[in-house]
Amino acid sequence: MKLLVIFLALIGLCAGSALPVIPGDNSHYVEGESRYIWMPDGDGVPHLVDLKAPIDEVMLMNRNGAHNTYWLFTRQNPTNRQILINGNANSIRNSNYRGNRPTKVIAHGWNSKGDSDLNPAITAAFLANADVNVIVLDWSRAASGTYTLSVRAVPDVGRHLANFLQFLFNTAGGNWNNVHLVGHSLGAHVVGNAGRFAPSRPVRVTGMDPAGPQWGGNSNALNRNSGVFVESIHTDGGLLGIMDPISHADFYPNGGRNPQPGCWNSACSHSRAHELFASSVRTNHFVGRRCINLQEARNVQCSGASLNMGNALLNKRGSGLHGLRTGSSWPF
């Protein structure tokens, strides 16, 4: 009997614990209330994140946009990066950058880096689609460490990105009407800040499942002021991603939340946004239908006007919430 009491007490203790014990399982998570959540790194490995971890102000001083690095890929160097250095005109003049091409910028998320899976996949898609400059932002120094610290670093990372792009245009040509900024998770908020810090709004900004934890009501989040046309693709809404519409056009494939087809946890669903985007750049086959409200989008019961999700068109325009269904494997 004594052992039974101890056993039941242990069960009760575990049930009441705020610490989730199964890696990658965010079924416990309640937006705005839960302290802990599992977040994947750039390789998809889940890490337990304390959303109430204290901020080390000294460490924050070293986690800023000054440490951004910029990798250029073009059809002349599709897989071998060329390093562009802010303030160093020769690094630009000696590269394959051309000011008369459209420029695509890709920003990764938390605990990721420039060569994390999404960047080569989207880079290859952009270069297969058109003759463009692709710049991969590696902000891994500010994106590493505690999640809360990285959240605080996002605005400065975005500001430095905007300053770099303006230097690039001043040095070798180009302009904001020919720029498409793309970011995943925290990277979506990075490009959102870059768009707002820019002297002229970029013509298009795409957020791929913009990060949700600590971003509800956050004035630094991606929003409609970040570009001429801003869109978001929501795939893990309410968990690792934002569910509420924050852009001119918000897409909710398969209801915009976990589990996405072929996924078993929110980490997979969160990553599905950048996989869907890469596929859309190559094929432009995802057709969303406009929804009356968010509930319709969640239930994939939308039947309004059509608007394609993703793709690489600079002149894309649209508004409202859009729902659609996709497959469970590439090209979805």
Per-residue pLDDT tens digits of the chain, which is 332 residues long: 333 333 333 333 333 346 888 998 999 999 989 999 999 998 889 999 999 999 888 888 888 999 999 999 999 999 999 999 999 999 999 999 999 999 999 999 999 999 999 999 999 999 999 999 999 999 999 999 899 999 999 999 999 999 999 999 999 999 999 999 999 999 999 999 999 999 999 999 999 999 999 999 999 999 999 999 999 999 999 999 999 999 999 999 999 999 999 999 999 999 999 999 999 999 999 999 999 999 999 999 999 999 999 999 999 999 999 999 999 999 99
Residue 237: inside a domain: yes
- Residue 16 placed within a domain: no
Identify whether 281 is part of a domain: yes
Q: Is residue 285 part of a domain?
A: yes
**Does residue 220 lie in a domain region?**
yes
8 located within any domain: no
* Total number of domains in the chain: 1
Active site amino acids: 185, 209, 270
- Angle (CA) 114-66-275 rounded to 5° is 25
**7 within a domain of the structure (yes/no):** no
Q: Is the residue at 217 inside a domain?
A: yes
CATH of the domain at 245: 3.40.50.1820
CA distance 61 to 194: 19
- Domain limits for position 54: 23-324
